[in-house]
Structure 1
Amino acid sequence: MLTLPPLLFALQGSESYALRVAQRLGCPLARHEERDYEDGEHKCRPLDPVNGREVVVFHALYGDGGQSANDKLCRLLFFCGALKDAGARHIQVVTPYLCYGRKDRRSQPQDPTITRYVANFFEVSGVDRLITLEVHNPAAFDNAFRLPAWNLPCAQLFAEHFAKVVGDADVVAVSPDSGGIKRAEQFRQALEQQLGRPVGSALMEKHRAHTTLTGSLLVGDVAGKTAIVFDDLISTGDTLKHAGHACQKAGAGRLFAAATHGLFTAGGQLFDSPIFEHIAITDTVPPFRLPPDAVTRQLRVLDSTALVATFLAENGAFDHA
């Protein structure tokens, strides 16, 4: 019996990313329809037959000028439900950026754990597997999802980039807070392998009270070395600046930063008085909040679609590719 390849759908706003993955896999995007109604409600349905087929749906769940993260999440869940009702055999969701990843624990009495609620939403909408990149807290992510859920780290991607940048200098991978130690260590090991020489590590003390950051202790030697502050995402950029200023004060020779998801919710504020030679991000979230000159001069956007395409091809979805 001939097994048909999966159908790939991309919801509004995620077409460019999904198309690049599809091109790497050698297949087109499937057809669907999205309709908005006057009262703000929405309908989305597949136009290609999905009965008995494996389906992959792409949608990055970041808020932008057209839709909030809540809008995108709701539309994705409804579309997955429609696919299941139409007879789809197996539904995979690829969400390069997964919303609510930072709300994974109770920080106050009666606080919600929204990461877990989002996982439940995907389950009841008929999703069989979820794939995302560089979640905020891998342990909380694993615990939240009962369906198979895969977190693809981007350490290797950044290591390949910075191996071409740092030259022969001594290099230190810096975690901007204690929660990112394991992530920064993955990057340190990957960069060490790329360079073929030792890479040091450092940790920045950080305490947050609402919007205020405190902590001045930098553990690790960065003096005269190339320091790379490595995190999962950039929101306002305050965490990166906090660690960057500490590295400057400690005598770092060169200073870079990297994060998988560039939200830049404060616009170009991080670049007004630049302390990093450049900041590297991936294409999971387009830098639409930044002025074009900041993107051109101080940002490096790395293509993560090969990582996703390789995962899909090597995990049963595209054995034909």
Structure 2
Amino acid sequence: MLLFAPKASLALATRIAEALGMSLSPSEEREFDGGEHKMRPMVEVANEDVYVVQSLCGDASASANDKLCRLLFFVGALKDAGAERVTVVTPYLAYARKDRRTQPRDPVTTRYVAAVMQAVCIDRVVTLEIHNEAAFDNAFRCPTVRLEAADVFAPEIATEVGDQPVIVMSPDIGGVKRAQRFRERLARTLSREVDLAFMEKRRASGVVSGETVVGELRGRAVVIYDDMIASGSTILRACQAAREADAKSVYVAAAHAAFLPSASKLFETRAADSVLVTDSIALRPEFNPWLGAALRVCSLAPLVARTIQDLARHRP
């Protein structure tokens, strides 16, 4: 088994390799004039079971498009060099939110990403907390593994809430199934009952509205659970609604810290007692001051490592 990573995902891949008790396989990554690039393995990959870690969220160093292109070209090189099986581990999958047509002639970009991955003969895709599970499953024809951040967050949240009565809340109706699975996982961890709530949400012309909360939050520790935080507006609304409903405490857990600058308001207003995210996306430097009690990063490396071990063990 070999594990590679482009430079953009080197930190995350190194943590995964450490959890696996192995080293990253060496590769060469070069830049050329005009923005062109290449990456090649520096070890023999023929007949090998190969894993490539590349999270596809754009940042200051590279766009999502650039990261995707580098991943595709490297997988093509691995296949040309005779790799038997190539599994792509992409905790954050670019364009997963553009999964359906909401206007005439809209692109369904999730499906196009799946098509280009299949074009370079990727054998399997492993991702974390996908935005729309049904759309993802329908888009990909190769085998896929959808990991859930619930396995990462449940022990941390259980420590946070202690003996408080707990309720898990989805910040919108679309995330209820995701929140329900986390509720079940948290209940097992706590060995007691955990209730479920959700919040109404409507979006029109980019404006989010809806204030109704379904569920009894008064006097409880409210855990707002979602797949990602970008602008932070949805989570902020949910935190404010929980406070207005007399919640005893408010915690947030979201897999992907896709923070935009506006997400700082979530921390400036102290809307939540704490916010938990994973390291699927490298944290923007401007959010480092909140690391500690307000913002905590939980590593998904052990979860990914266990998944890779299972896949390697059951290699056809």
Category of TM-score, reference length = shorter chain: over 0.9
Q: What is the alpha-carbon distance in structure 1 between the residues aligned to residue 101 and residue 276 of structure 2? A: 31
Q: What is the alpha-carbon distance in structure 1 between the residues aligned to residue 231 and residue 273 of structure 2? A: 18
Q: What is the alpha-carbon distance in structure 1 between the residues aligned to residue 229 and residue 216 of structure 2? A: 24
* Offset, 1:137: 0.9
Opposite residue 269 of structure 2, the aligned amino acid is S
Distance change in 2, residues 1:21/1:291 (3 Å): closer
Name the structure 2 match of 1:316: 312
Q: Where do 5+ consecutive residues of structure 1 fail to align? A: 1-5
Q: 236, 252, 259: which one pairs with 1:264?
A: 259
Q: What is the alpha-carbon distance in structure 1 between the residues aligned to residue 233 and residue 143 of structure 2? A: 34
* C-alpha contact (below 8 Å) 1:53/1:89 kept by paired residues: yes
Q: 171, 187, 203: which one pairs with 2:198?
A: 203
* Offset, 1:86: 1.2
Opposite residue 230 of structure 1, the aligned amino acid is Y
- The answer to whether the aligner puts 1:280 opposite 2:276 as a matched pair is yes
- Number of equivalenced pairs: 314
Residue deviations 1:243-289 (CA, integer Å, cap 9, x gap): 11111111111011110000111252321211101100011112124
Opposite residue 34 of structure 1, the aligned amino acid is E
Opposite residue 200 of structure 1, the aligned amino acid is D
When structure 1 is superposed on structure 2, of 288-297 and 227-236 the one drifting more is 288-297
- The answer to whether the aligner puts 1:110 opposite 2:115 as a matched pair is no
Q: 66, 73, 76: which one pairs with 1:81?
A: 76
Q: 284, 287, 298: which one pairs with 1:291?
A: 287
- The answer to whether the aligner puts 1:185 opposite 2:180 as a matched pair is yes
Residue deviations 1:92-147 (CA, integer Å, cap 9, x gap): 11111111110011111111111111011110112101101111111111111000
* Offset, 1:293: 1.7
Q: 142, 149, 153: which one pairs with 1:158?
A: 153
Q: What is the alpha-carbon distance in structure 2 between the residues aligned to residue 179 and residue 56 of structure 1? A: 32
* C-alpha contact (below 8 Å) 2:49/2:312 kept by paired residues: no
Q: 222, 225, 232: which one pairs with 1:227?
A: 222
* C-alpha contact (below 8 Å) 1:154/1:260 kept by paired residues: yes
Q: What is the alpha-carbon distance in structure 2 between the residues aligned to residue 166 and residue 217 of structure 1? A: 24
Q: TM-score, normalised by structure 1?
A: 0.95
Matched position secondary structure for 1:315: helix
* C-alpha contact (below 8 Å) 1:287/1:295 kept by paired residues: no
Residue correspondence of structure 1 range 1-321 to structure 2 within 5 A: 6-266=1-261, 268-317=264-313
* Offset, 1:27: 1.7
* C-alpha contact (below 8 Å) 1:231/1:260 kept by paired residues: yes
Matched position secondary structure for 1:174: strand
Matched position secondary structure for 2:13: helix
Q: TM-score, normalised by structure 2?
A: 0.96
Matched position secondary structure for 2:286: coil
* Offset, 1:203: 0.6
Q: What is the alpha-carbon distance in structure 2 between the residues aligned to residue 174 and residue 25 of structure 1? A: 34
Q: What is the alpha-carbon distance in structure 1 between the residues aligned to residue 4 and residue 229 of structure 2? A: 28
Residue deviations 1:134-163 (CA, integer Å, cap 9, x gap): 111111111110000111011122111111
Q: What is the alpha-carbon distance in structure 1 between the residues aligned to residue 193 and residue 292 of structure 2? A: 32
* C-alpha contact (below 8 Å) 1:279/1:299 kept by paired residues: yes
Matched position secondary structure for 2:312: coil
What do you get for the CA RMSD once the two structures are aligned? Answer: 1.3
* Offset, 1:292: 2.4
Q: What is the alpha-carbon distance in structure 2 between the residues aligned to residue 231 and residue 52 of structure 1? A: 40
Query: Quick check: which one's helix share is greater?
Result: 2
* C-alpha contact (below 8 Å) 1:58/1:94 kept by paired residues: yes
Matched position secondary structure for 1:93: strand
Matched position secondary structure for 1:77: helix
Opposite residue 287 of structure 1, the aligned amino acid is L
Residue deviations 1:210-247 (CA, integer Å, cap 9, x gap): 43110011000001111011000000100101111111
Percentage of matched positions with identical amino acids:
44
